[in-house]
Structure 1
Amino acid sequence: MKRINRLSSFLSAVSVLAVLTAVGASAQEQQPPAAPGAPEPPAPEQKPAAPAGEPPVVIADELIYDQTLGLVTARGKVEINQNNQILRADQVTYNQKTQIVAASGHVALVQPGGEVMLGDYAELTDDMKDGFIQQVSLILSDNSRMIGNSAVRERGEITTIDRALYSPCNLCKDDPTAPPLWQIRAIRVTSDAVSKDIIFHDAFIDLFGVPLFYSPYFSMPDPSVDRRQGFLFPSFGSTSDVGPFFGLQYYFDISPDQDATVGATLTRDSGTLFTGEYRKRFDKGLITLNGSINQSGYSKILNDNSGPNGSNLDFRSQQLRWHFFGTAAYDFDQNWRFGVNVNRTSDRTYIDNFNISGADILQSRAFAEGFYGLNYIGVEALDWQDLRTPGTGVGSKGFSPTILPSVTANYVSEPNTILGGQWFANASAVSLLRDFDAVTSDPNRGIDTRRLSTQAGWQREFYSDSGIVLSARTYLRADVYQSDDVPDGTLVVNGGPDEVLTKNGVAATRLFPVATATARYPFVGQLGSYQQMLEPIVSLSVAPHVSNGDKIPNNDSSDIEFDEINLFSESRFPGLDRVEGGQHVSYGFRYGLYGVDGTSATFFLGQSYRFETDDDFPESSGLRDQLSDYVGRVTVHPGPYLNLDWRFRLDKDNFYSRRQYVQATTTGPDWLNLNVNYSLLDDKGEDDEGNSFNQQQLGAGAKAQITDFWSLSTGMTYDIENMRPFRYNLGAQYMDECFTFGVNVQRQFTTAEDQKEGYSFFLTLNLKNLGEVPLKFSADQSRTPGT
């Protein structure tokens, strides 16, 4: 026997040592010469050569070679590296005759994928592809663990562990012997490195050490798999809309760039819901298709007392109900892109009943857009489906036009091109189509319209030596309208519903020049450690008094919101259908304090004066009289964790609040976030369409991180005007490295058609690597739907 001591430094330096027989070479070639006088060793038994592969690289403190028995033993921090596999142990023995490697003491076998197999004792073939390990512990690539009595390894591909425990959870630091937060106990577990499957036989899922679920067989992809075809975790629960339900989906991994999901949800009260989704991604685009179909009954509000017993509620018998959401987008090059969004449903309450979407308006759009520096061109078609409750001027097809098409082009020159400023040009063309009913629809908003609008102008900023900043802007706009179904003012009474006569082909033109000058004079000074700024602002806008007239319909200028943002605009009307003619002066001042530590407080107050009244503005807008209402804003940032914002509009005559929005939010510390908001909308009276609106609403929300793992959240919305809440919710969530559990309780107080008020309970259970278990429960109150 020859002994070689302390060879680790030498082996590390040369990085090679085939002392462990070079794995596959004949034993005769590996034997050292016999000592003088020693008998010749017997000829080694001939064995078939092992498959060709990389020679092993061995590092050890001590190597011992037994020539008689054909044993090579490495001791002390042994590490063997072969074919991207690493074997570590306190002692490794290689038997040249049986070609078996035996490792003992802190055995660790590291695989190319990152998995680590630990054990007390292991026997492996010389290529380390087959063998067994006692008291095994397997660490997967995502740091999840599996332990068992023993493991058998076959072909370097399949590992079978007996009496196994699996968990991705970390052990308790205070008591490592305690069971993890959740685990899987199985009689046998098979890990397939080729199919990337982990298969459990006779398995229990334990939560907090308590068995919750048993399955004779189930499998999951190993952590290295990004996605895998198969059944998704089922969803189940109960709601007041559909009753108890159970849903199951199957996921198809079609290719790396596309997938699909199909599923079915069984409900007690609303039949079976079939769902499907398809997704595909291209180099420069994507497609997503999502839809569902169901056959069930539902209620509908009629608004004409034609329901049973003269009511407004009509229950529809079994009908086919569905939804379809589709998206396609493609970038042709760095300048042009194309997209399509289609969102439709069979009826008003379907997507909400089945918890598909909470949207109250569905928009469908097709568009193509081009971007060239500061310039833009776009072509689009739009259509809307209004799902809001009808009967209040919304929800009718007459109010939801189809735009086919809309074309927009904007050009802005580079600075300092003409008279030291910029010139700009805009053009747009739009065609609005509606299903008009002169009896049931609002005549002023049920008109088919074609509009062409062009605008060309110039703008520049001037800076004086004294600090005054002057902005000048002027443009000329031209509009051409052509409309159908325009009421001519004749009312026909024919014994039935009254009928309003209409005209087609009604044309109108408008030429509108505007010039605006705005001056700002900021004063900056020091107030202790704060920097302060006072900035008076005044703006003059001059334009001819232009009557919008009855021949020009109002499609995009009806929703007027007068505030500090548009106070200095040439026209306070949104959109293009209405223009603000005549001359008006807007004035206000801004004051701010700014600290070196980031704290700040700003205040703005302004008003507008028109040289003559404008009846085109509704009374509720605050702009109809010569003097407008006051608008302002206060923002306070007293520290790194709190923001306060107050926006308001005050009546010019008595400072009565017409619009208010107050919001307080915290941005830290990380363990607490608060949001409180108050809104008030108080119209002076009815507008030109006979509508008035008064509402006060209080909203609040909070989220607190109680511990490293537990957080609480709450929120509410309260109708102050009617002294009743809209909704409130309370939730709690636990989240750690392997487990998420959440519970949320929501109370809904509003009802509409077949939607009922009541409680909803949402439970979320997410087990890492197994998926999410969504649950929803709700209990309705004994109240007639639609009231």
Structure 2
Amino acid sequence: MIREALPMRRLALIAVLTTPLTVAAAPALAVGAGEIGGWGDAWGEDQAPNPAQPSRPRATIPAAQPAAPVAAPQPAPAPAPVQPGGWGQAWGEESAPEPAPARTRAAIPAARPVAPIAPMAPAPIAAPAPVQPGGWGQAWGDDGVPEPPQPRRATIPATAPTFPTASTPVAAAPRAPAASASDIRGWGDAWNDDAPAEPGQTNRPVRPVSVQPAAAEPEAAPKAPRPMAPATQDSVDGDEAEEPVRLTADQIIHDRELGIVTAKGRVEVGQTGRTLIADTLSYNLKHDVMTASGNVTLVEPTGDTMFAEYFELTGDLKDGVGKELRVLLSDRSRMAAASGIRSGGNRTDFDKAVYTACEPCRNQPDRRPLWEAKAVRITHDQEAQVIEYRDAWLELAGIPVAYTPYLSHPDPTVKRKSGLLAPTMGLSSSLGANITVPYFWAIADNQDITFSPRFLFPSSTATKVSTPETLDDAQDSVLQRVVLAGNHRWIGRSGEATTNASLTQDRHTAATRGHIDSEGRFDLDRTWRAGYQLQRTSDGTYNSLYGYPINSNRPWLTTRPYLEGFGRRNYALVEAMAFQGLRPTDDDDTSPLVLPHAMFSHQSHPNSRGAFWTVDSDMLAYNRLDGVSARRLSSNVAWNRPFRGKQGDLTDVSVSLRGDGYHSDHLNENQGSATAGRVVPQVAANWRYPFVRDSATMPQIIEPMVMVAASPNGNNPRSIPNEDSLDSELDDVNILRANRKTGLDRVEGGLRGGYGLRWSAHPRRLGYVAAQVAQGWRAHADSTYSERSGFGDNLSDYVARFDYAPTGNISFLNRVRLDKETAEVRRNETRISVGSPILRADVSYYRFDTTESENLTFPSKQVVTYTLSSQMTRHWAAQASAASDLSDNGGPLGWATKLIYSDECFAFVTNFRRSYIHDRDILAGYELTFNVVFRTLGDVPFNVF
């Protein structure tokens, strides 16, 4: 028995008779959601059920018209000739059955149930009359009501008493794309062989997928084939093994004697989430084996797609063998093989296989990929989520560059997996030869650890430090030859944390050296957040020498736990801080330990006139083993209001009252403890008057600015220690502030102010240009400013800023401080960038004169850096840079070059550096770094010198 259905796209009229059967495609008709096959097939008999019996919903056939009843047909003189593929083949007979008396043909409404009845015995069949293929007699084949045409799908029922009630709809699967990577060449070319290997030539025998035939059974009770459900049913929950096979094709032929279903033309088979597409398919129902040929495509639930010329599979599509295989993985990487064996639905062994992550060249699809891994056998274990290689060669541009007897890497479904990572090899003048072999441990979905032990192989010229403390070079402990390093990452619903640490022993002194760099943040609720920062190292040069940089450009490390809260108009912070200096002159005994530091800020809602209050409070306590220790309490309350004049001028007025209290120890050698305090009332106003000139070519804005502030003089007694107000440098940012000091320990008093002018223009086609110049003044001298600070007397130096960005390819920034009397440059900061990505040049210049601030002197510095970069092509880029100290005792600091190649599957980066800086046990020298990245395989970095 056979049940056929019409497709949604291509329609075939199927007749269930004893004449030969050929299923052909026809124009599509509207089909209901619950349509099923013919009556005889649906009930397992040769006649239709009583119309009162319930059935699955049936679709309305718009083309059907009512017809008058006709008399029973008379016996025909002779049966019509049987054509191959017709009903006779389908039923194994030589004549077609007589058509039943036609009944009135009426449109059958969709989804209309009828009452159930018991099946009836088949009616006697008279001599068959000549019937044209596709006629109504063939379409009915019994005395029942005619069944509407069905979609182009066939369901082969089992002899088992029940069927699964539904099946998974088969999604449309892609046809085989253009051959890619190595699969576009013959296997003889890939393996230096003249002919492709056959499946039988693999290292192990090809395991047949078909099971052995069952023992002989009576003709009436053959072995139950895998059930095939109607294509229009929905999926059901349950074991995958019980899900029926779903088949669609242009032509379906069922040989009942042999138990073989043959499908031709756009064949699609769905089972357990997998889809098989082929030109021709033969399904042996007794042995549950499918044989597919011609543009075979197998789509996995993971997104992997396999292409072949020939495939033999079990009915559940889990086991099989194939030849001339090509695989497109879900991450767009590719594999090709001469043959392959599939087992269990989750493991595929490819013999004489090639793997690459490179996309085929669009212009030259036959071109060899940039890199590929060839192996005698490649195994893709989907359950273990790993791809393994046996006897593998890595080829770069067709040239073998590396061999390994075994290689494995995670498949595209894996985001994180425990295992060894690519090693890093290096050679430096300070450490000698070394190799790092990292191991990644995926502890859980939200945390992991990477162990990165580095093995040292020192040479006689590496790290020769000429100091009296240098001991004999003999290496007595294992830890002197190994650097133990690791990284831990954790992320949760309420926060995240990262830790980097390392430990070793110095090769010359056997002193323990190491570092830790950790940072975390945890959200306690919608208002409060806690966190920490932990940075410590054994000495000032360890991180630079061993290559464990801490993300900080400052010459000190900070350890800081904190708790902070955020309100709509409030902010609160409680923290503790410890510091470690990295310069040769830094002493840990003089570094302060801050415990605690707390601050609170509040800003009220503005009233109807825009006035608002602000409150800023701060508490600080710090201690030293050697030096000043102090406690500070400070609070500032201010009333603020903006005013807008009738002419468009803007004025911000602020009236504030600030109070500070201090208790200090060891402020000087002759004083033990001291207590001091101050109250600082202040009035300040900022006025600006913007003038706008609108123009069709270049709109401009000119804005004069004036600041005036007044507070009592002499608010910086020597009994108040200075910790956070050491930097008194004037610039374009703070010149017009009421208090130009940083921090809270020093305040600016007396009558003071500043004035300046800001100009900006926006040319329609020339980008943006702006300039600003300002100067500060005060009525009384202030001892907190030194002569070299730029504000040694009543008038300050001039500070200016100039920005110019005519296009996206040109930018210029200059910030400068000029002597108020001689206009000599005291500080200059310039950055210029010219060019497009094809060729771009950047120059940065910094000059700082010597400055002083309360017993501290900051020496002058003059540094220039040059950078030239080019994105030469889509894949190639280069960069060169240099730095030089232009001071009297300066010289070149170093230079570096970089060459980069990067595409979708491969990246190559090489760096060559020359350093002229010698810092304690860090030697000046060269460094050459290679970093090769094979996408999906990992990276292979290499360091030299």
Of 678, 682, 685, the match for 1:510: 678
Matches within 5 A, 1:385-784: 385-390=580-585, 395-397=586-588, 400-416=591-607, 420-436=610-626, 446-487=627-668, 501-527=669-695, 529-597=697-765, 599-665=767-833, 669-683=836-850, 688-689=854-855, 691=857, 693-722=859-888, 724-778=891-945
Match of 1:305 in 2: none
CA distance in 2, matches of 1:452, 1:462: 33
- Cα deviation for residue 542 of structure 1 reads 0.5
Taking the aligned partners of 2:616 and 2:96, their CA distance within structure 1 comes to 105
Deviation at 1:263, TM superposition (A): 2.8
1:3 aligns with 2:22: yes
The answer on 1:181 being equivalent to 2:370 is yes
Q: Deviations over 1:21-68 (max 9, x none)?
A: x9xx99xxx9965547699x9827733665853333322222223344
Larger CA deviation: 90-99 vs 763-772: 90-99
1:96 aligns with 285
Determine helix, strand or coil for the equivalent of 2:694.
Answer: strand
Shift of residue 670, structure 1, vs aligned partner: 4.3
- In structure 1, the partner of 2:118 is none
Indicate the SS of the match to 1:691: strand
Query: Is the alpha carbon distance of 1:481 and 1:687 closer, same or farther for their aligned partners in structure 2, counting shifts above 3 Å?
Result: closer
Instruction: Tell me the alpha carbon deviations over residues 640-672 of structure 1, each in whole angstroms, 9 at most, x when there is no partner.
Output: 322211111000110000011111235x74444
Letter in 2 for 1:350: Y
Cα distance, 1:325 vs. partner?
Answer: 1.9
- Name the TM-score, length of structure 1 as normaliser: 0.88
Do 2:225 and 2:285's aligned partners in 1 also have CA atoms closer than 8 Å?
no
Shift, 1:472, TM fit: 0.5
- 1:171 corresponds in structure 2 to 360
1:495 matched residue in structure 2: none
- Answer yes or no: is the 8 Å Cα contact 1:182–1:208 preserved in 2: yes
Which amino acid letter does the alignment assign opposite residue 510 of structure 1?
R
Match of 2:558 in 1: 363
What is the Cα deviation at residue 397 of structure 1? 2.7
Q: Does 1:374 align with 2:569?
A: yes
Contact 1:93/1:101, CA 8 A, preserved across alignment: yes
Query: What is the total number of aligned residue pairs between the two structures?
Result: 725
- Aligned alpha-carbon RMSD (Å): 2.6
User: Mean Cα displacement is larger for which, 109-118 or 2-11?
Assistant: 2-11
The answer to whether the Cα contact below 8 Å between 1:16 and 1:57 also exists between their aligned partners in 2 is: no
Q: Distance in 1 between matches of 2:638 and 2:303?
A: 65
Deviations 1:539-585 (A, max 9, x none): 11101102412211110001122011101111211001111111112
Displacement, 1:528? 5.3
Check 1:248–1:118 CA distance in 2 against 1; reply closer, same or farther (3 A cut): same
CA contact (8 A) 1:137 1:145 kept: yes
> 1:484-517 CA distances to partner (integer Å, 9 max, x unpaired)?
1121xxxxxxxxxxxxx34322111111111111
Q: Is the 8 A contact 1:8 1:62 kept in 2?
A: no
Is the 1:7–1:61 Cα contact (8 Å) retained in structure 2?
no
Q: What residue identity is the alignment partner of 2:898?
A: G
Amino acid at match of 1:415: P
Q: For each residue in 1:234-268, what CA deviation from the matched residue of structure 2 results, as whole angstroms up to 9, or x when unmatched?
A: 11111222111001121111111121122311112
Other-structure match for 2:527: 335
Render the CA deviation track for 1:249-295: whole Å, top value 9, x for unaligned. 21111111121122311112362101122222221012333211101
Query: In the aligned structure 1, how far is the partner of 2:906 from the partner of 2:667?
Result: 63
User: Could you say if the C-alpha distance between residues 180 and 52 of structure 1 is closer, same or farther in structure 2, counting changes exceeding 3 Å?
Assistant: closer
- Whether 2:300 is the aligned partner of 1:111: answer yes
**Pairing 1:275-290 to 2, within 5 Å after superposition:** 275-290=485-500
Whether 1:46 aligns to 2:222 is yes
Q: Distance in 1 between matches of 2:251 and 2:836?
A: 57
**1:420: how far off?**
4.0
Deviation larger for 475-484 or 326-335: 326-335
* 2:536 equivalent to 1:344: yes
CA contact (8 A) 2:900 2:909 kept: yes
Look up the SS of the partner of 1:351 in the other structure.
helix
Q: For residue 712 of structure 2, what is the amino acid of its counterpart?
A: P
Is the 8 Å Cα contact of residues 282 and 291 (structure 2) preserved in structure 1?
A: yes
1:72/1:588 CA distance change after superposition, 3 Å: same
Cα distance, 1:136 vs structure 2? 0.5
What CA distance in whole angstroms lies between the structure 1 residues aligned with 2:677 and 2:452?
55
Per-residue CA deviation, residues 82-139 of structure 1 (Å, 9 max, x unaligned), is 2211111111111233322111111100011001110111111111111111100111
- Deviations 1:726-774, CA, capped at 9 Å, x for gaps: 1211101000001110001111111110011111112111111111222
Give SS of 1:620's match.
helix
The 3 A distance-change label for structure 1 pair 745 and 538 is: same
SS of alignment partner, residue 687 of structure 2: strand
Distance in 2, Cα, partners of 1:527 & 1:511:
51
Letter in 2 for 1:278: H
Cα pair 1:616 1:624 within 8 Å, conserved: no
* CA distance in 2: counterparts of 1:113 and 1:17, whole angstroms: 31
1:135 equivalent among 324, 333, 343: 324
Conserved 8 A contact 2:577-2:593 = yes
1:273 aligns with 2:483: yes
5+ residue gaps in structure 2? 1-19, 46-86, 98-216, 227-239, 459-479
Matched, 1:193 2:382: yes
Q: Which of 1 and 2 has greater Rg?
A: 2
CA distance in 1, matches of 2:276, 2:847: 72
How big is the shift at 1:712? 0.7
Distance in 1 between residues matched to 2:719 and 2:257, nearest whole Å: 112
- The change in CA–CA distance for 1:385 and 1:690 in structure 2 (over 3 A counts) is closer
- Supply the distance in 2 between the matched residues of 1:614 and 1:260 (Cα, whole angstroms): 56
Alpha carbons 2:573, 2:600 under 8 Å: kept: yes
- Greater strand share, 1 or 2? 1
How far apart, CA to CA, are the structure 2 residues paired with 1:18 and 1:672? Answer: 70
SS in 1 for 2:788: helix
Q: State the distance in 2 between where 1:244 and 1:164 align.
A: 36
The Cα shift of 1:231 comes to: 0.8
Task: For residue 228 of structure 1, give the secondary structure of its aligned residue in structure 2.
Answer: coil
Cα distance in structure 1, aligned partners of 2:658 and 2:714: 12
For 2:25 and 2:96, locate their aligned partners in 1 and report how far apart those are by CA, in whole Å. 27
| Secondary structure of the corresponding residue to residue 514 of structure 1 | strand
| Counterpart secondary structure, 1:185 | strand
Secondary structure at the residue paired with 1:318? coil
Conservation of the 8 A alpha-carbon contact between 1:16 and 1:56: no
Q: Secondary structure of the residue that 2:543 maps to in structure 1? A: helix
8 A Cα contact 2:495 2:522, kept in partner: yes
Give the AA of the match of 2:484: F
TM-superposed CA distance for 1:777, in Å, is: 2.0
Q: Identity across aligned pairs (percent)?
A: 33
User: Partners in 1 of 2:860 and 2:450 — Cα distance?
Assistant: 46
Give the alignment of 1:13-24 within 5 angstroms.
none
Contact 1:453 1:480 in 2 (8 A): yes
Per mean C-alpha deviation after superposition, the further-off stretch among 461-470 and 324-333 is 324-333
Shift of residue 170, structure 1, vs aligned partner: 1.6
